[in-house]
Structure 1
Amino acid sequence: MTLIPTWLLFTSPTARFEIMRKALGLHLLFLICLTAATTQASHAKSLCRAGERIVFSCQAGAKTVSLCAAGTGLRELTYRFGAPGRPLELEYSNKEVPVKARFWFDSESWPKGSSSAVSFEIGGHRYVVYHAHGVFGVDGGPNRAGVRVERGEEEIANIACHEKSAIDRLSEELRDSGLAPARADHSFAGEWEIDLRTPAEKDARAECGSASFKLRQTGGTITGETMATVGCGRMNEGGEATVEGTATGNTAVLNVTSGRSGEVVRGWAVREGDNLRWETIEQIKAGEPEGDSGLILRSGLLVRSEKR
């Protein structure tokens, strides 16, 4: 409800209109100036330039990590890293090629938080810009943001930002540009299980004879454990942090360590609908004693366990 000063009621209609028109004009001017000041303040906290939108930005000490979009949607995306006001240390953009040819996106949300990641490769190095935050932290730890650099399966750098400085609009940009998958659940988080029992064991209702992955995912990083039993006579329990890997979209590369023998293998994990397809690619480290089968599950289609 708008309150009109009493004295204004005793002015002529023409004078009243003119006074209110000028007041409205001053109000609109204030809103325009406020919006411009807010935009300038946001850009001052990023390395984005005039005409660009901030997709993501955070402060890592004196340095800034920024992802900036130009044009409609995410047709042109640029990564910049460096100290504001000084020459950039790294700049990378898709420019004349489609954005999906240079950048990979991942975004996940849950009732009390969300995570997002953008990755790209330069000279055999993979750069992952990440942000994960929840009301009570993430995976028992604090909220986090920054950029990590990987070479193969090795993390060679992780530049952490002050998480509260993060400006994260990736999920909205992906949705508005149509790049977000229509089926948003590509998460690997949860417990996945496969029944390895023979028909006779199923008829006998044997409780042994299964293999499972219990996975956690933050952005593109996956950790967890594995367990398998065969005929109740052999157990392969990996234990905490025996599954590690990275995910891009619905595909992940996982390193799995056997708790039985210490064998380490690498494999592909692919989300197929509500299932998880697993296949071993190679052995990274032989188990002890040599020749002992450490990791029982070599391939198979796992389903979400009801014991979550």
Structure 2
Amino acid sequence: MINTGEVIIKTTAYNASRLSVAPMMDWTDRHCRFLHRLLSSQTLLYTEMVTAPALVRGRALHLLDHNPQEHPVALQLGGSDPHELAQAAVMGAGAGYDEINLNCGCPSDRVQSGTFGAVLMRDPARVAECVAAMQEAVDVEVTVKCRIGVDEQEPAQVLPVFLEQIKAAGCQRVTIHARKAWLQGLSPKENRDIPPLDYDLVHRMKAEFPDLHISINGGITTLAQAQAHLDSGLDGVMIGRAAYHQPTDILAAADPQLFGVGQVADPIQVVQKMLPYVEAHLADGGRLHQITRHMLGLFAGRPGARNWRRILSEGAVRDRAGPEVILQALEPIASGSSQLEQVV
């Protein structure tokens, strides 16, 4: 359940996955997720990838920290050992996450060296074993995020085999990044752009596996594009970089447009609602820029956006910087909005 301060909305990760924000390393931390939740009460949010060894062997339980208002929120795990992933899943479920997701899509060298991420596309039997162990260990839903294939694999051949095996293991929901990952020769950044998108293959997988809840990810930058995929029969859409860099464009209208509830969120009001959260973070010894770095794109494309970014970027890193920096950055935005309303 989500308490918006005005109404309590009952929701589940399954229903919320009609639209989700992708797990993104160094970006979708708890501060980012709190901001995104103020923009949309319905969208499913994901953590950054947390490795199972970090939780099980390293006991880095702080990686599970999140605010109750983030729900529905999913924990993405990285790993390849079924027993260890099951233990990590228990920790995640115990921390209150609504879903446990297994990363089978990240192409970074660090992930490959740990034998998890996109390299797992080569071993669907192991993925199925991991899914089964996690499902056995927790009551919350276990899902998978994958690519359409890696390196020399032929996606049209390997993806159906992969989906069949994880489905047989009990996975009922999968998010497919509609690009192949090249584990050799391309950087993680290049793997987000260079391999061509194959949306048609993902749609064919939905036709071939009608009982699987399939979300599509990769290259989607607008709600209109998301709606088109939903209208074409897919169950969900996951948006990554666009949701981070232009969060208002993606999330502010998501509730009424994609979920049929609520109203379009006002980013100025969202900033004002962030202030108590900022004050609490500072009182706990945190730094302002740890939060404001996620707020830079709130007014992207709007009058005053450049000053907003400049004031936050320069002011938030100063010693003892507080909410006054945010209010200063907001002044020209709010003033411009008021003037526009008067003209209209």
Calculate the TM-score normalised by the size of structure 1.
Answer: 0.22
Mark the structure with the bigger radius of gyration: 1
Greater fraction helix: 2
- Which structure's relative contact order is higher, taking Cα pairs within 8 Å and 6+ residues apart? 2
Calculate the TM-score normalised by the size of structure 2.
Answer: 0.20
